[in-house]
Structure 1
Amino acid sequence: MHMQLPSGPILALCSDDENLIHARGIPYAQAQRFQPPQPLSHKESEAERDCTKPASICPQLPSRLESVMGPLTAGFALDENCLHLSITAPKNAKKAPVMMWLHGGAYISGGGDLPCYQPVDLARRGVVCVNVTYRLGVFGYLCLGDIAPANLGLLDQRAALRWIQTNISIFGGDPGNVTVVGQSAGADSIICLLVAQETKGLFHRAILLSPPLREIKERAPTASLLSAKAEQYLTKDPREMTVDELLAMQKKLLLDPVRKQVMLFAPSLGAYPLPGVDEFDQRVAEAVRGIPVLIGWTGHDGRPFSSMLYPMQILYKVPVLGPCLEALQTWFVTRSYFMWPSQGFHERVRRAGGTSTTYSFEWAGAESNLGACHCIDIPFVLGSWEAWKGAPMLKGKDTEEDINRLGAVVKDLWLDFMNGKSLTTEHIRMV
């Protein structure tokens, strides 16, 4: 299927049996290494772009959550030129609600066009879905003096939102009804986009899956410490280093972190386009008055992270005592990093005069020892069983049936929310 965008023509897939349009790897901006995103150059976009094949992802190291989700990025091309998005839309959509998906991965792994994030069922329900790929790790969140400004990955996301406002009507989407959905780092990104400069009117609702909000105000000092540590590893201008050399430096920074945080690379308050820590709460209060929020956590969100904590992980192997300690640590990490901060954000939204509903996702794989862990809610709304069937967190003979059953409920809930329907309860429990 041939389509004409302002930036140039594209070739998209048109699935007659599903009545859907799939366009993968559409550029939404362009950027040189360590430079802010810029509008697309029309001269470079005159030839038709093939948007029928899997898109690249930002260069990255293997995800630390492969033991939970499986090797979902295996085989995908890594490319710094990754400012692109993928669209899945009903073929004849008109003024349809729009969803923009921001993947998680602690700002160091993942990509928008991965099979596990394909929103086919939501598109079948009438939603124009946009999956965004943005810069990660040293490429998107390492501030290096005059070489690399802070928050480049966040600026990429803002550029994608601007692209949606200008172009999404071509796919039948309503630019006046955009719901931003993110999980983990993606949800954290949405909080940052709420308070960032020049984002007002770019989106109208927000769904936040397991945002790790405990550290959001504590990250400002990390950026300068990380920069100083990175400079110790530099032997030449980072603009001239190879991708592998930059990833090797990132690995050193992760193995010897400047501070113990869930996310070392992340948006930093006090650096453009974000307000300072002192202004953060007020900016949130102003932003959420007109943006309804659905925010939640999983029953054992902290399980994958509790198993990474040293030296506690050594004690987990002790008979009887070990499992008790791991359960206690999971309980604490789940609540202190995910549940309690999300509940606090929910209350701040309501006190500010906004609308917010919380949810808890408590389904767990019958044969998995991970419980209702971090990321376990994603397969119930995005991706196919084929994409997710190897995930350790989903292990169990009835999992596919459960995903079909509960997934239909969750997708319908999201659809109601995207269409502006008021959720009838303050808290929703999903089992």
Structure 2
Amino acid sequence: MTGARRPGPGEDPDRTDVRVHRSGPIRYAVAERFGRPRPAAGHDTRPSSGEICPQPPSRLDAVMGPPLDRRPQGEDCLNLTVTTPARDDRARPVMVWFHGGGFSSGGGLMDWYDGGALAAEGDVVVVSVNYRLGALGYLCLDGVSEGNLGLYDQVEALRWVHRHIAGYGGDRTDVTVFGQSAGALSIRLLMELPEARGLFRRAILQSAPLAILARPREEATALGRIFAERLAVHAPGADPRTAAPAALLAAQRDTALAHRARSTLEPPFGPVGTPGGALDAGARDLDVLYGWNADDMTAFPDEPNEDGDPAGPTRRMYEEPLTALGQRLARAGARVHAYRLDWRPAGSPYGATHCLELPLLLGARAAWRNSPMLGEADWDEVDELGRAVRAAWAAFARTGRPGVVPPALTCRRVC
């Protein structure tokens, strides 16, 4: 759908009262199951399916709340949306969003990730991207899937932006990628992927758990064999390349249960090995903003925690690895800023938890209604802080510096 976005039933007019154009869903690529993506052909006039990748429920439903919109699920899922203040020739900064969800759940088309407020207030173009998840995106199995397909989907989305975003009022030479959790891990890997070189100039990494960035290929292949064994139970004689999506998800669930003996935080399917290239060369001349939420680890109660205080696990999983990355990026020639979000909504048992910055950046009141992590905070409080956070992110996308930040957000220049 293209046109001025208007408040829907129950939506917050404060987030939608400025006219923006929201285009999509748009099919940016196509792919055979377990194959690399190909750009959608210019003569392909089929309407987008609007699908997101087949997926199980998110393990963070208890924290974020389950999604209130229901999107069709299917393998024609390489879709994106574009939200822009105007389809003109202003050549605005472009912000490309890669969602989180442990490489197993989520979708850029979901209402949580509506970029209307960010686009309108920041005068930027926001692109929200689906990519393949779980076994469909990250299975590593000899003769079936090479792995890292979801990462290559993201590269193809960035190529689509490079080719088409001028028609949506955006500047293809001024692209910022921003993502949270698994989306931030993806961005870290895109920094060293040769195919992504030159497709973005700035990056925002939100709560990237770098300790689980990528697994060795041998370990990923072993998990792939477990997946194949479990698929044979759910669909005897089936080939992974043709089995029903429901059987794939059942085998994926079983693989996740087997993997929990090793880690409750690391997903069973995710990036494999080092895709290629050198981080230092890819980071040179990038502007990078990275950070975490002060209580990120309260979202993962099953993780070992000696004294019940989330500070230690949050420091080990987020602060220390991200700080080391920031220092490395600075040495490589990147211009780097770091942030920490300390906002703890009244009445929330989670504090400044994982995902808490999301309603400050994206989505509207209707999408985040009754989200447990927001506690007793009313939407006016969320939106007041959100306007300041959105202004900082938009300023970074425009200048490489976040500018003035609200007290709940501390920010410092690394180099």
Question: How does the TM-score come out when normalised to structure 2?
Answer: 0.89
Distance in structure 1 (CA, Å) of the matches to 2:137 and 2:217:
16
What count of residue pairs does the alignment treat as equivalent?
Answer: 391
Match of 2:112 among 107, 116, 121: 116
Distance in structure 1 (CA, Å) of the matches to 2:404 and 2:125:
26
- Structure 1: gaps of 5 or more residues: 1-10, 313-323
Distance in structure 2 (CA, Å) of the matches to 1:364 and 1:425:
20
Amino acid of the residue matched to residue 325 of structure 1? D
Amino acid of the residue matched to residue 308 of structure 1? D
Amino acid of the residue matched to residue 376 of structure 1? L
Match of 1:216 among 182, 190, 213: 213
1:239 paired to 2:222 = no
Correspondences of 1:39-50 after superposition (within 5 Å): 39-43=39-43, 45-46=44-45, 49=47
Tell whether the 8 Å contact from 1:87 to 1:129 is kept in structure 2 after alignment: yes
Match of 1:13 among 3, 10, 13: 3
Amino acid of the residue matched to residue 243 of structure 1? P
Report the secondary structure of 2:273's partner residue. coil
Correspondences of 1:115-264 after superposition (within 5 Å): 115-124=111-120, 125-216=122-213, 218-235=215-232, 236-257=238-259, 259-260=262-263, 261-264=265-268
Offset from partner CA, 1:279-312 (integer Å, 9 cap, x none): 7xxx22112221110000001001111x1237x7
CA gap of 1:46–1:120, structure 2 versus 1, over 3 A, is closer
Distance in structure 1 (CA, Å) of the matches to 2:379 and 2:48:
33
Offset from partner CA, 1:329-361 (integer Å, 9 cap, x none): x22221111111111111111122211111000
Instruction: Determine what percentage of the aligned residue pairs are the same residue.
Output: 36
Q: Which residue of 2 aligns with 1:355?
A: 335
1:66 paired to 2:70 = no
Per-residue deviation at 1:259? 3.4
Offset from partner CA, 1:374-416 (integer Å, 9 cap, x none): 00011111111221121100011x4422212211111111111
CA gap of 1:126–1:424, structure 2 versus 1, over 3 A, is closer
Per-residue deviation at 1:373? 0.5
Tell whether the 8 Å contact from 1:113 to 1:131 is kept in structure 2 after alignment: yes
CA gap of 1:145–1:342, structure 2 versus 1, over 3 A, is same
CA gap of 1:133–1:86, structure 2 versus 1, over 3 A, is same
1:105 paired to 2:107 = no
Per-residue deviation at 1:215? 2.2
Q: Which residue of 1 aligns with 2:413?
A: none
Distance in structure 1 (CA, Å) of the matches to 2:343 and 2:96:
25
Per-residue deviation at 1:234? 3.3
Q: Which residue of 2 aligns with 1:303?
A: 298
Q: Which residue of 2 aligns with 1:407?
A: 386
Distance in structure 2 (CA, Å) of the matches to 1:418 and 1:108:
28
Q: Which residue of 2 aligns with 1:325?
A: 307
CA gap of 1:136–1:421, structure 2 versus 1, over 3 A, is closer
Tell whether the 8 Å contact from 1:357 to 1:425 is kept in structure 2 after alignment: no
Amino acid of the residue matched to residue 309 of structure 1? E
Report the secondary structure of 2:316's partner residue. helix
Distance in structure 2 (CA, Å) of the matches to 1:192 and 1:365:
32
Distance in structure 2 (CA, Å) of the matches to 1:207 and 1:428:
20
Q: Which residue of 2 aligns with 1:379?
A: 359
After superposition, the CA RMSD in angstroms is 2.2
CA gap of 1:427–1:406, structure 2 versus 1, over 3 A, is closer
Question: How does the TM-score come out when normalised to structure 1?
Answer: 0.86
